[in-house]
Structure 1
């Protein structure tokens, strides 16, 4: 391995990427397999849950099989990033992979819903390490321009996992058992472990490091509390209930304590000095807004398809697939362009501008809008989401010295995930109150219209309504969803303004395998 710290190596380097060796490609492909497993397991259980409940019971708890995984992964992100900076990324990656595989085996052997949820939390903690370590490893192996094309591979992996997850879960459940949804990770993970141990050549960091235990504990509590606040608020508890108010107050208190601890820690989990770099601070803002809007709004776009456009589940699934492909393709093209030009600042700018245009278009849309136009709006939204996804990861890498790559990537990814969690909750609160009022005004006590707890309408019920009633209902949903797009506009305009101040930068270090 050669390590380059000169200005030329760390800077723009050659405009023509150096050919990657077969060994390098094999290692990166193996790392992508690890990312695939981490992303796949956030979704693969969805189609297996009815069978899981049938075997283990716990209908009132089953949502935690997914929520626990996501919260565990979110809490682990910045911690793994910092541990990689302190002790070496290969070592931490291997540890997180082993934890993920052991938890996968335990999930497959679970005998009660409580056991499954507990093991899913541990599996989520392992998955957070897999994802953030791969981002940091690529950042250590390559400069940001050369590494941009490998970040583009993550986009393809994300799309593949999103599309394959529910389908693969259903196939494994039908052909074998729901337990194979978890057991399938073991042979793939074993191959990943072997290749990484044998072929990935990154330095360990044997120097004595002081772990910020107080920071780790406080950050974990804050992330869990914030996720619970976002997930429970307006759903399980009213926003003004004691439980939600206590969560909100507790979250603010713990975050305040965390910041105070970070100011004094020798090796803080999230070094506050990173925010002295204006580009880093802007990237964190853009990541939060990108998660809040780009992923937080996704469920409501699906709701629009099924209730306002009146597409059935299968057809709306096709449109959602087209949207996800737009995310993947635009993200991949964005990463390739950054690798070729070295400039990333225009990508989040264009992303926020397209988000604003999409919001305006949906504000003018309704039941009379053609399916073709609606699909066009959805694809535009997907392009906007993809343009900031990998571009911001690459931008974050460019602000990091070699000692801070993990902390930078962990913080950036955490901000996007927190934005997503809060976006889902905020948009739900915004829509549901208006929906309830609209349904009461238009339908009163009409028992033919049954609204599910999450605000969605049963497709079977929708199909049984008369044409005038369906149009009336579609109008109610369109009116209820418009405030979501109204609020989206100032958010993405803030992001657009922030993106204008983002500067292209060069990384401080560059490392090759």
Structure 2
């Protein structure tokens, strides 16, 4: 599609951005609202599953759609993704308990994975790697804008409306996006020589599912060394070995292993994995500090995270332009990731709302510099006919990193919280309910759960039902819970910072090749020497790719 007129490309980009915004806003709007929704529906123990199932289904759909879109084109998959997302969002609003919420969020995840994989690949079809720098910045700005609007709106909705509207309010945007894609996006003929790798797709799915479930259950539902967890990891390993065997023998593999012979693809994907594991695993628990520790309502909780999104939007738009102008990208990752680490460390030791806001600004600044880089590196290092599967591999590693990060950080938080509560009780800072009147102890037992901190209206309502003489004991219990939650969150944020440090070290080994000014590889040009000069690629790069 690189040959299309500039006007046609712009209209297609409008359609792509509309679809991406629909998926992105529906993901960010739940961030500040989810603690309240969980408190209403119950099921604090399953909190991470609401996030994990979304990431799990989106990860699987992303990688499977990557190769299929190389064969059939992007249009049918973006349309299918929007339909899945609309159905999932509508059903999520009808949830009566935590298990329905998890199920329907899984359907949303399928749609999100399809939309994101197809949209990012379509940009690669439209523009050369050099031009993609600018458009990557624009697409990051779309995510940033949804991150500004979503959390604030989500918090406001659960404070002033029924929580169901968190999932329903943007359904009209999905319908508009569907119409735009249907009308504007060009149809691509199927590649007749390509076949579908059903067996590889099956075993790739059988690798991802038990692996992510194992990480989600380990340390929470089952011990890390339990038969169940070891069995899940063992099943994932067996499926992975079979998958690798299949991929070396099929004509058109769903995820060609040859991609990972390219050091740029491998290092970029590993960096994306670690970066998302640290970032998502820690940031998903930020509302616990704002709402649980500081007692801020969901509405104002969104205002705390807003500065990160604003700084990311501003910096990413400039980063995209700088990359397009210079054709260089590694420097921005090397500059952005240390800033992200500093922001994460600030989160670990924040003790006020203002410090939380400052840490958000710093983290968003680094995110805007570093995040746009790694999709570009992968797309620039492969042939145009591999754009779909290469982009899908990048999304796969990022999604798996985010999913595993959330699960592992959830385990870290739960174990740290349990340890903190135990230490408080042993040191005498806690409240010994056995020494109180049985009736009063029964009332207070309802508060002896950090989940109560996430629903301030209910907390205040229950407090008012307690006798006046019990109020000091109640206040002491709440302070103890907040201290324990704050301590556990410090551990979570420091763990996230450690993963970002490892990701930064990997960036030093990332080989930088100039961004091409055309979608053609050097060997595809009529005059090889001219192609190398025009694209800024050397012969060694052509061999590597």
TM-score by length of 2: 0.76
Task: After TM superposition, give the deviation of residue 345 of structure 1 in Å.
Answer: 0.8
- Residue by residue over 1:92-139, the C-alpha shift from the partner in whole angstroms, topping out at 9 and shown as x without a partner, is 333434454566677789999988866654443233111110100000
Task: After TM superposition, give the deviation of residue 317 of structure 1 in Å.
Answer: 3.1
* Aligned counterpart, 1:357: 342
- Work out whether residues 130 and 324 of structure 2, in 8 Å CA contact, stay in contact via their aligned partners in 1: yes
* Aligned counterpart, 1:245: 230
User: Does residue 128 of structure 1 match 2:113?
Assistant: yes
- Residue by residue over 1:416-456, the C-alpha shift from the partner in whole angstroms, topping out at 9 and shown as x without a partner, is 11111111222232233233223222244515694546696
- Work out whether residues 129 and 518 of structure 2, in 8 Å CA contact, stay in contact via their aligned partners in 1: no
- Work out whether residues 141 and 317 of structure 2, in 8 Å CA contact, stay in contact via their aligned partners in 1: yes
Secondary structure of 1:192's aligned partner: helix
User: Does residue 437 of structure 1 match 2:419?
Assistant: yes
User: Does residue 76 of structure 1 match 2:61?
Assistant: yes
Tell me the distance in 1 between the aligned counterparts of 2:131 and 2:272.
22
- Work out whether residues 94 and 164 of structure 2, in 8 Å CA contact, stay in contact via their aligned partners in 1: no
| Structure 2: runs of 5 or more not aligned | 434-443, 464-470, 521-545
* Aligned counterpart, 1:419: 401
Tell me the distance in 2 between the aligned counterparts of 1:172 and 1:472.
27
* Aligned counterpart, 1:378: 360
Distance of aligned partners of 1:255 and 1:372 in 2 relative to their CA distance in 1, 3 Å threshold: same
For the aligned residues, what is the CA RMSD? 4.2
- Work out whether residues 51 and 178 of structure 1, in 8 Å CA contact, stay in contact via their aligned partners in 2: no
* Aligned counterpart, 2:509: 501
Distance of aligned partners of 1:221 and 1:22 in 2 relative to their CA distance in 1, 3 Å threshold: same
| Structure 1: runs of 5 or more not aligned | 5-19
- Residue by residue over 1:217-269, the C-alpha shift from the partner in whole angstroms, topping out at 9 and shown as x without a partner, is 11222222233223322333333333322222222222222222222222111
- Work out whether residues 352 and 492 of structure 1, in 8 Å CA contact, stay in contact via their aligned partners in 2: yes
* Aligned counterpart, 1:510: 519
The 10-residue stretch of structure 1 (34-43 or 94-103) with the greater mean CA deviation from structure 2: 94-103
Greater radius of gyration (CA): 2
Task: After TM superposition, give the deviation of residue 478 of structure 1 in Å.
Answer: 4.8
Distance of aligned partners of 1:181 and 1:299 in 2 relative to their CA distance in 1, 3 Å threshold: closer
Q: Matched residue pairs, number?
A: 491
* Aligned counterpart, 1:268: 253
* Aligned counterpart, 1:228: 213
Distance of aligned partners of 1:374 and 1:339 in 2 relative to their CA distance in 1, 3 Å threshold: same
* Aligned counterpart, 1:402: 384
Secondary structure of 1:503's aligned partner: coil
- Work out whether residues 42 and 66 of structure 1, in 8 Å CA contact, stay in contact via their aligned partners in 2: no
Residue 336 of structure 1 is aligned with which of 317, 321, 329?
A: 321
Counting only pairs closer than 5 Å after superposition, residues 116-265 of structure 1 correspond to structure 2 as 121-165=106-150, 167=153, 178=164, 181-182=167-168, 185=171, 187-201=172-186, 203-265=188-250
Tell me the distance in 1 between the aligned counterparts of 2:30 and 2:355.
33
The 10-residue stretch of structure 1 (258-267 or 235-244) with the greater mean CA deviation from structure 2: 235-244
Tell me the distance in 1 between the aligned counterparts of 2:160 and 2:494.
43
Tell me the distance in 1 between the aligned counterparts of 2:9 and 2:211.
39
Distance of aligned partners of 1:235 and 1:458 in 2 relative to their CA distance in 1, 3 Å threshold: farther
Distance of aligned partners of 1:61 and 1:482 in 2 relative to their CA distance in 1, 3 Å threshold: closer
